[in-house]
Amino acid sequence: MTKQLLVVENLEAGYGEMQVLWGISLSVAERGISAVLGPNGAGKTTLLRAVAGIIRPWSGRITFSGEDVTLSPPHVKVGKGLVLVPEGRHLFPELSVEENLLLGAYTKLGRYNLEESLDLVYSVFPRLKERREQRAGTLSGGEQQMLAIGRALMARPTLLMLDEPSQGLAPKIAIEILDILQRLRGEWGLSILLVEQNIVKSLEIADYAYVIEQGRVVLEGEPEELSKKGDLIKAYLGI
Amino acid sequence: MEVGQIFATILYGTLIGVIYGVATVGLNVIFGVLRIVNVGHGAFIMVGAYTTLVLYGSLGVPPPITIAASILLGAVLGLITYYLVIKHLVDAPELATLIATFAIGILLQETVKAIYGSDTRGFSWNLGFAEVLNVNIVYSRLAAALLGLLLLIALYALIYRTKLGLAMRAVVQDKEGAMVVGINVDRIYALSYTLGIMITVASGSVLAIYLQSGIHPYMGEIYTLKGFVIAVMGGLGSIIGAFVAGVLFGLFENASYLILSQIEGIQPLVLTRSIAFLLLLTILLLKPTGLFRR
Ligand SMILES: Nc1ncnc2c1ncn2[C@@H]1O[C@H](COP(=O)(O)OP(=O)(O)OP(=O)(O)O)[C@@H](O)[C@H]1O
Ligand SMILES: [Mg+2]
């Protein structure tokens, strides 16, 4: 069996009194890509925020590289290489492209590899290099998404969690970004936990997928299996 | 009105204005990063004024050096009040932080009163003066404004030229973004709040060096009010805005005093104070995000 990098067991979380996640279990293999699919409001973003430590899990367990990180604060997780590209990007709009990237390398690991990471990010996203002096808030949607991913790569992640990286993008750019992710898995040995609306494309690059609905995993399996159950997925996702 | 009067108004309006700027930025830093309005702001200014009064008055420490003592005291007070109180209220409703910071202010006032009494006190630090256009340019006041300017420049450099400052600005612009790049947001909150208190206590020393009189436990209240006016003018959260607005406010205040004092039968000093309120109301009505905000 392949080694699991991230293991989430029976995770429960929510906001205030409202429970959103009702015992989610999933994992990401080393050098693997796991996809999480589900309708709007299913709790996908809440799941990633809980794993990243932005919201505090109510119960359950999160193990990363064999270490229990359930209640670790977000900056500690980033320091260990567990990095989130959040929904809505959350860039620093008043800062330049390059300042955003430099902040991406805020942790010890990032600082140590700063020059090399910057070269790598610029080679993956040449458009960012052209616009390095520009304020992040003035970038186009696609460029902002590249910057959000580039900023996350600056932290030298071993596991990259992406929350709808192709949201609001032209299909062509969306596919370009998913291709780049697949390339990084090969080149960097990166593992990926991907939340995506683009079901067909994400099933194509993922090696395991979960369908969640109302905070529970309702279906999981390898993409080929899930594709066979195409009707079932459609029923769950309401498409 | 003579030329001399106008010159004096502009000179002293600018000098006190710079000090107003320093005495306001702490409010801006704390609001900008933590989104907390420090209602006890003026009490920290008062503590700085007493630091200079006591250290110079009883121990003979040169006033400029007392600013360093105020910065240290500000660090201690900032850290204590942050970890005891503010830390637990960052995500609480606004009313909770308003009441808490108000309470901290009262606690400081009453502590100082218990130790030093409620008499209005002062001291004399005389550096001489020059006479220009029949106006005495008092060197100690010039020194106070220069020291204030130095404090502002240091704060600016810290926020715009250091890595800590970059992290602070990142937290201001997007808290969740700061979390996902690995910034310890709690730590930035603690440091920013403490920094805000440090510069505020230091500004009390600068103010004392400028005024050399009128030091009493409740002297800070008027500066809380003026601080709000200036912070709102400059856009809460902006350092340069606070500086420019501080100078404008100083000029405005001194000019109103000059004009009001031409009218017989009124008390110009009292009226000048109410002008601060009027200004605040006007700005809040016309441009609630501040005069210099994009
Ligand atoms: N900050 C919040 N406070 C309160 N409730 C929230 C908050 N964020 C999300 N929710 C609620 O939690 C539930 C799950 O939201 P979540 O954002 O995790 O869904 P999602 O699967 O990411 O949806 P989408 O595909 O639209 O991004 C929703 O009912 C949502 O209204
Ligand atoms: Mg979502």
ipTM: 0.93
Positions of chain A with pLDDT under 70: 1, 168, 230-239
Residues 47-86 of A with CB under 8 A from B: 52-54, 73-75, 78-79, 83-86
Query: How many Cα atoms sit within 13 Å of B36 on the Cβ side?
Result: 31
Alpha-carbon gap, residue A113 to A121, rounded angstroms: 12
The alpha-carbon gap from B33 to the nearest alpha carbon of chain A, in Å, equals 14
Residue B294 banded pLDDT, cuts 50, 70, 90:
very low
Q: Are residues A164 and A132 in the same domain?
A: no
What's at A33, amino acid-wise? I
CA dihedral A129, A133, A136, A139 (to 10 degrees): -60
Q: Are residues A146 and A30 in the same domain?
A: no
Q: Are residues A162 and A239 in the same domain?
A: yes
Residue identifier of the C-alpha nearest atom 16 of ligand 1: A43
For position A229, what pLDDT does the model report? 74
Question: From the CB of A147, is ligand 1 less than 6 Å away?
Answer: no
The alpha-carbon gap from B56 to the nearest alpha carbon of chain A, in Å, equals 43
For position B85, what pLDDT does the model report? 96
Quote the mean pLDDT of chain B.
91
Q: Where are the domains of chain B?
A: 3-286
CATH number of B3-286: 1.10.3470
Q: Higher model confidence: residue B164 or residue B293? A: B164
For position B292, what pLDDT does the model report? 59
Interchain contact B284–A (C-beta under 8 A): no
Note the pLDDT tens digit of each residue in B79-130.
Answer: 999 999 999 998 888 899 999 999 999 999 999 999 999 999 999 999 989 8
Note the pLDDT tens digit of each residue in B167-179.
Answer: 999 999 999 999 9
Residues facing B153 on adjacent strands: none
Interchain contact B173–A (C-beta under 8 A): yes
CB atoms within 10 A of CB A197: 18
From the CA of A40, which ligand is nearest?
A: 1
Alpha-carbon gap, residue A113 to A115, rounded angstroms: 6
The pLDDT of residue B293 is above 60: no
Residue identifier of the C-alpha nearest atom 24 of ligand 1: A40
Alpha-carbon gap, residue A213 to A196, rounded angstroms: 14
Q: Are residues A3 and A68 in the same domain?
A: yes
Alpha-carbon gap, residue B153 to A3, rounded angstroms: 54
Q: Are residues A169 and A135 in the same domain?
A: no
Cross-chain residue pair A93–B173, CB shorter than 8 Å: yes
For position A105, what pLDDT does the model report? 97
Closest CA to B35 of B189, B218, B200, B250: B189
For position A238, what pLDDT does the model report? 60
Q: Are residues A115 and A77 in the same domain?
A: no
Cross-chain residue pair B183–A106, CB shorter than 8 Å: yes
Q: Of the residues A139, A156, A173, which one is the last residue of a structural domain? A: A156
Q: Report the residue from B167, B170, B179 with minimal CB separation from A74.
A: B179
Q: Of the residues A122, A137, A156, which one is the last residue of a structural domain? A: A156
Task: Choose, out of B169, B173, B180, B187, the residue to mutate when testing the contact with A (most A CBs < 10 Å).
Answer: B180
Q: Are residues A32 and A97 in the same domain?
A: no
Strand A159-163 and strand A191-195: pairing?
Answer: parallel
Q: How many domains does chain A have?
A: 2
Q: Are residues A116 and A173 in the same domain?
A: no
Task: CATH number of the domain at A231, please.
Answer: 3.40.50.300
Q: Are residues A4 and A54 in the same domain?
A: yes
A91 contacts on B by Cβ (under 8 Å): 174, 177
- DSSP letter string, A35-71: EEE--TTSSHHHHHHHHHTSS--SEEEEEETTEE-TT
- DSSP letter string, chain B: --HHHHHHHHHHHHHHHHHHHHHHHHHHHHHHHH----TTHHHHHHHHHHHHHHHHHHH---HHHHHHHHHHHHHHHHHHHHHHTGGGTTTS-HHHHHHHHHHHHHHHHHHHHHHH-S--B-------EEEETTEEEEHHHHHHHHHHHHHHHHHHHHHHHSHHHHHHHHHHH-HHHHHHTT--HHHHHHHHHHHHHHHHHHHHHHHHHHH-S-B-TTTHHHHHHHHHHHHHHH-TT-HHHHHHHHHHHHHHHHHHHHHHTTSTTS-HHHHHHHHHHHHHHHHHHH-TT-TT--
Note the pLDDT tens digit of each residue in B205-263.
Answer: 999 999 999 999 999 999 999 998 888 888 766 788 888 989 999 988 888 888 888 88
Q: Are residues A180 and A140 in the same domain?
A: no
Alpha-carbon gap, residue B198 to B282, rounded angstroms: 31
Helix, coil or strand: residue A104: helix
Q: Are B151 and B206 in contact (CB under 8 A)?
A: yes
Q: Are residues A101 and A214 in the same domain?
A: no
Note the pLDDT tens digit of each residue in B141-154.
Answer: 999 999 999 999 99
Domain extent, residue A95, equals 90-156
Q: Higher model confidence: residue B272 or residue B48? A: B48
Q: Of the residues A116, A133, A156, which one is the last residue of a structural domain? A: A156
Q: Are A211 and A220 in contact (CB under 8 A)?
A: yes
The alpha-carbon gap from B196 to the nearest alpha carbon of chain A, in Å, equals 22
From the CA of A213, which ligand is nearest?
A: 1
Question: From the CB of A42, is ligand 1 less than 6 Å away?
Answer: yes
Q: Are residues A162 and A213 in the same domain?
A: yes
Question: From the CB of A17, is ligand 1 less than 6 Å away?
Answer: no
